[in-house]
Amino acid sequence: MTPGSARISRRALLAAGVGTAAAPLLGACGGVSTNGAGDDENAVVLMSNQFSPVEEKQRFEKILSDRVTGERVAFNQIDPGVFSSTFQAQVDSGNVRISAVGALHGDLAPHASRLIDLDDVLAALGDRGFDADLTDLAKLGGDATKYIPWMQASYVLAVHKKALQWLPSGTDVQQMTYDQLLSWMTAARAGNGGTPVFGIPAGVKGLYHRFFQGFLLPSFTGGQITTFRSPEAVTAWQYMKELWAQSAPASTTYDNMQEPLQRGEVLVGFDHVARLVAAPRDNPGDWMMVPAPSGPKGLGYMLVLAGLGIPRGAPQQAPAKDVIKQLTGPQVQLDVLRQNAFFPVTNAKIPADLPAEVAMAEAAVRQQRQAPNAILSLPPVGLGARDGEVAQLFKNCFKEICLDGKPIPQVLDAQAGQLNRIMDELKVPCWQPDPAAAACRAA
């Protein structure tokens, strides 16, 4: 090395050193606000794991700034994976920065003890017309209201009309049975040159377990937990194995169905409404949404419920209560429906001028709910932090039966063992559609 190059590098080094040393000064205030409310101390921080797609988030922020008066809301969208730990860390340390949380029933359930009672808020909202099913769920298994229902959704089938050409004659796509769905998908695959046209969201973040918990199993067995390893459940999983044989293998990488549907990888898909609506958005004329099929026991369907709660020790409790009241107002409820495809939990009247994709989703969900043989499934009640593990047991059944090809009764027995171990620890009563027995477990 020549002395010259050493001198140059020393000078350059000095410059680099000064540059990096200046950096901490830049952040002397400990960082800049990124929540859209600036450093407004009085803003109500609403932490939520909903509306994470960037456009949904932007639209909801617009709704908040247009419709909520009196308070400034900082909508803090957080990754679903860290929602729970952030919430827990804040409340347990007694240094709470969030004033309200908005999340799914299952996400709030583990934190019942960290939420304040909202009976006063619910009482003040008598004119909203909340369904008793919903306000019962909002007690999280206790006596007091822990959250206020915010919005609801369900799961349906999206169908590209191209797939209708293979629909066996005599099948009404609006009122299918599971057997008819299977015959249709088998015919469609044959007609499509051997490429399957049906998909389920069986990716890591996909919600396919809800298909088993809330649709397939209730339709075949009439229950979810108590009938976990009944002979009817064996039939249901046998059916699932046959349906899976006619489904796109790439399903195991789908986190939502709207993208593979949009790309045309599959033509028929089952998913959460909010994860389907983008598919028909550009060409609604090519698409339809239909209710889930029915099985021997009826048409099982699952309700999805999101709620708004206030953490213990929240800095802005009174303003947060006011924000929650405003978010259940008819205008906000309908704005959310129109723009982000989550349905009102109140008696807000559904207008006629909905966007085409939202209208078709609304019709399918309504038909599902009003079907004479409908079997309502609630999301698990009272499982708390074990909710995810119970969901995983259903996913394990799918993996071992459909992907690994293991014998069905053996898999169901093994998973029922795990299920009962969890249920015996929790000792909670069953929820719909299972009968409310003293202790809920797989027979």
Partner 1 sequence: MRAQRLWVQAACVAISLFMGVPIYLITLAALSSRESLNDFPLSLLPTHPSGETMSTFLRSTGILGGLVNSLTVGLSTVALSLAVGLPAGYALARYAFRGRDAYQLSLLLTRALPIVVLSVPLAKVFLTTGLYDTAYAVTLLHTALALPTTVLISAAIFVGVPREQEEAAMIFGASPMAAFGRVVVPQALPGIAASAIFTFVLSWNEVLGASILTLNRRTLPAQVLATLGESPLAFRFAGGLALVLPALVFIAVVRRYLLNMWGTPLR
Partner 2 sequence: MAAGPARRALPLILPSLLFMTALFLLPLITGVAQAFRGPDGLTTGYLRRMVDDPYFWQAARNTALLIVVLIPLQFALALAMALLLRERPRLAGLHFYIWVIPLAISDLAAGLVWLSIFTDRGYLNSVLDAAGISPYAWLSFQHPATMFLAVVIAELWRATSLVFVIVVAGMQGVPRDYDEAAAVFGASYWQRVRHVLLPQLRPSLQVALILRTILALEAFAVAQALTGRNFPLLVGETYQWYTALQNPNVATAVALVVLLLSVVAAVGYLRLMRHGPEPGR
Contact footprint for partner 1 (CB under 8 A): 1-2, 5-6, 9-10, 12-13, 16, 19-24, 26-27, 30-37, 45, 47, 52-55, 57-58, 61, 74, 76-79, 81-82, 85-86, 89-90, 92-93, 95, 97-98, 205, 255-256, 259, 262-264, 278, 282
CB of 218 or CB of 309, closer to partner 1: 309
Q: Which residues are bridge partners to 153 per DSSP? A: 304
Residue 109 beta carbon to partner 2: minimum distance, rounded to whole angstroms: 10
Residue 34 interacts, among partner 1, partner 2, none and using kind-specific CB cut-offs from 5 to 8 Å, with: partner 1
Residue 387 contacts which entry, partner 2, partner 1, none (Cβ below 5-8 A, type-dependent): partner 2
Q: Residue 271 interacts with partner 2 (CB under 8 A)?
A: no
CA torsion, ordered 338, 274, 270, 194, to nearest 10 deg: 90
**Distance (Å, rounded) from C-alpha 138 to C-alpha 150?**
10
Q: Is 249 in the site for partner 2 (CB under 8 A)?
A: yes
Which residue number, 88 or 171, has a Cβ lying nearer to partner 2? 88
Quick one: 115 or 412, whose CB is closer to partner 1? 115
- Nearest distance in Å: CB 355, partner 2: 27
Distance (Å) of CA 25 to CA 19, 53, 154: 11, 34, 50
Give the interface segment with partner 2, choosing from 221-229, 296-304, 323-331, 394-402 (CB under 8 A).
Answer: 394-402
437 binds, among partner 1, partner 2, none (CB under 5 to 8 A by kind): none
Look at residues 435, 415, 425, 368 and name the one whose alpha carbon lies nearest to residue 176. Answer: 368
For position 111 contacting partner 2 by CB under 8 A, the verdict is no
CB-based contact 277:216 (threshold 8 Å)? no
CB within 8 Å of 388: residues ≥ 6 apart: 106
Min dist CB 74 to partner 1, Å, is 7
At closest approach, how far in Å is the CB of 374 from partner 2?
Answer: 29
Q: Which does 136 bind (CB under 5 to 8 A by kind): partner 2, partner 1, none?
A: none
Q: Smallest distance from the beta carbon of 239 to partner 2, in angstroms? A: 20
Give me the least distance between CB of 32 and partner 1, in Å please: 4
- Give the CA distances from residue 37 to residues 32, 274, 325, 420, in Å, rounded to whole numbers and listed in that order: 11, 27, 20, 47
Q: Considering only residues 224, 400, 428, 440, which one is a binding residue for partner 2 as defined by CB under 8 A?
A: 400
Beta pairing partners, 295: 298
Our finding on whether 89 is near partner 2 (CB under 8 A) is no
Q: Which is nearer to partner 1, 35 or 235 (by Cβ)?
A: 35
Q: Pull the structure tokens for residue 296.
A: 């021997």
For helices 231-245 and 408-426, give the axis angle rounded to 10 degrees: 120
Nearest C-alpha neighbor of 343 from the set 440, 351, 326, 207: 351
DSSP state of 350: P
CA 66 to chain centre: 26
The rounded distance, in Å, linking the Cα atoms of 122 and 426 is 28
Q: Contact, 324 vs 99, CB < 8 A?
A: no
Query: Of these partners, partner 2, partner 1, none, which one is at the site of residue 443 (CB under 5 to 8 Å by kind)?
Result: none
11 binds partner 2 (CB under 8 A): no
Verify binding: residue 144, partner 2, rule CB under 8 A: no
Interaction of residue 17 with partner 2, rule CB under 8 A? no
Kindly write down the DSSP assignment for every residue of 267-319, as one continuous string: SEEEEEGGGTTHHHHS-GGGEEEEPPPBBTTBEEEE-EEEEEE-BTT-TTHHH
Judged by CB under 8 A, the number of residues near partner 2 is 28
Scored b (16 or more CB within 10 A) or e, 404-429 reads eeeebeebbebbbeebbeebeebebe
Q: Judging by beta carbons within 10 Å of its beta carbon (0-12, 13-18, 19+), is residue 103 exposed, middle or buried?
A: buried
Tokens of 18: 């000064």
Contacts (CB under 8 A) with partner 2, residues 173-212: 202-204
**Binding-site partner at residue 53 among partner 1, partner 2, none, CB < 5 to 8 Å by type:** partner 1
CB of 76 to partner 1, least distance (A): 6
Residue 58 site contact among partner 1, partner 2, none (CB < 5 to 8 Å, cut-off depends on kind): partner 1
Query: With CB cut-offs between 5 and 8 Å by kind, which of partner 1, partner 2, none does residue 329 bind?
Result: none
Most distant pair of Cα atoms in the chain: their distance? 90
Q: Which residues bind partner 2 (CB under 8 A)?
A: 80-82, 84-85, 110, 202-204, 249-250, 252-253, 263-265, 385-389, 391-392, 396, 399-400, 403, 418
